[in-house]
Amino acid sequence: MLSLAAGVGLGFGCNESVRRMIDVVTPAYRSVEEWNTAQADHLHALRTRPPAQVAADLAIDLHDLALHLQQAAPADLPDLYRTAALLSCIQANALTRLADHGAAIRWWRTARHTADASKDLDLQLLVRAEEAGHGLYGQRPPETVLTMIETARRLPTGQQADLDFLTTEVKALSLLGRHQEATAKLNLLTDLTETSQADRWGFWKEDQIHFAASWVHAAAGRTELAADARDQVLRLAGDYQYRANVSLHETLCVVRLGGVDEGMRRAAEVVAALPVQHRSAHIKETARIVLRAVPPEQRARPSVVELRTLLTTGA
């Protein structure tokens, strides 16, 4: 149906080659339960490990899954399509973190197609929400992301899907400088949060609501509200990206209120404190949002140049 392994360099080393030789001698397809465990493992890795490692490890499982799909019995296909959609979604996320946006967009497309093939509406909505949300990190213009959300809402949606789409919508509106609209939508999001539930696959977490609030309030220069949301993220979040980015939101708020040099210095400290392999495109793009908040007449200041150089060279 779909060549799931296309476009990803498998990069098998000697250790992996030996393991595959053993698998050839004792071939066995994984059960649904084993694939579910693999999906949870890769999602955990995405939140805790360097994205290059995540993409490389996941490519091996995607290769195995592609072979399985080619030979699976029709009765097994819906579960395998569901697995393919989830793993493709994680791979697209990892590639976005690596700023390999062309490859990421292709994997988002595969995630959508396999989710649709599974006939699982919740999964179809989850994949579309994930694709739209990660598109904000230098992958797509905010206007395109808003269009994607409106298109996805043509599917039958429930409360969880509304929540997923709203978290992205408020951030996109904020990027476009539409702060009043973003705040109004954020209030709707807060109301939904009181009765929200996690998705079946562990993608959605409560910290995403507070993260969206941190983004919106910081961009509008609301120091206390942004700080409250940031504290909640730091209390709840296990993903290193979320923790770094809400710290960058704090510097965005400082810049919005006129503290250019202080904001640049603190943003540079946040980025420089991370190991280079953890400085994902999500983190760098958030730092660039801070840079873009600097008034044009001040963009030649040494502190601004220093942050820009750090994001370009890593030095």
Q: Name residues whose C-beta falls within 8 Å of residue 65's C-beta, 6 or more positions apart in sequence.
A: 4, 35, 80, 83, 84, 87
Instruction: Tell me: pLDDT of 44 over 70.
Output: yes
Question: How much is the pLDDT for 7?
Answer: 43
Q: What is the pTM of this model?
A: 0.90
Instruction: Kindly report the average pLDDT of the chain as a whole number.
Output: 91
Is 9 domain-assigned?
yes
Which pLDDT band holds residue 9 (cuts at 50, 70, 90)? very low
Identify the weakest region by mean pLDDT among 5-14, 16-25, 67-76, 236-245: 5-14
Q: Which CATH number covers residue 276?
A: 1.25.40
Q: Are residues 12 and 115 in the same domain?
A: yes
Sign of the four-CA dihedral 240, 132, 99, 267: negative
Is 181 domain-assigned?
no
Is 100 domain-assigned?
yes
- Whether residue 182 contacts residue 159, with contact meaning beta carbons closer than 8 Å, is answered with no
- Whether residue 180 contacts residue 153, with contact meaning beta carbons closer than 8 Å, is answered with no
Q: How many CB atoms lie within 10 A of CB 170?
A: 26
Is 78 domain-assigned?
yes
Q: Would you give the DSSP letter of residue 277?
A: G
Instruction: Tell me: pLDDT of 133 over 80.
Output: yes
For residue 90, give its domain range: 1-119
Instruction: Tell me: pLDDT of 24 over 70.
Output: no
Domain boundary among 119, 145, 167: 119
Q: How far apart are CA 229 and CA 215, in angstroms?
A: 9
Is 312 domain-assigned?
yes
Is 231 domain-assigned?
yes
Q: How far apart are CA 55 and CA 281, in angstroms?
A: 14
Tokens of 179: 């702060």
Instruction: Tell me: pLDDT of 217 over 50.
Output: yes
- Whether residue 82 contacts residue 199, with contact meaning beta carbons closer than 8 Å, is answered with no
Domain boundary among 98, 119, 140: 119
- Whether residue 153 contacts residue 168, with contact meaning beta carbons closer than 8 Å, is answered with no
Domain boundary among 76, 101, 119: 119
Is 66 domain-assigned?
yes
Is 191 domain-assigned?
no
Q: What is the number of alpha carbons within 13 Å of residue 79 lying toward its C-beta?
A: 13
The structural domain count of the chain equals 2
Digit-coded pLDDT (tens) for 106-130: 999 999 999 999 999 999 999 999 9
Tokens of 127: 């994949």
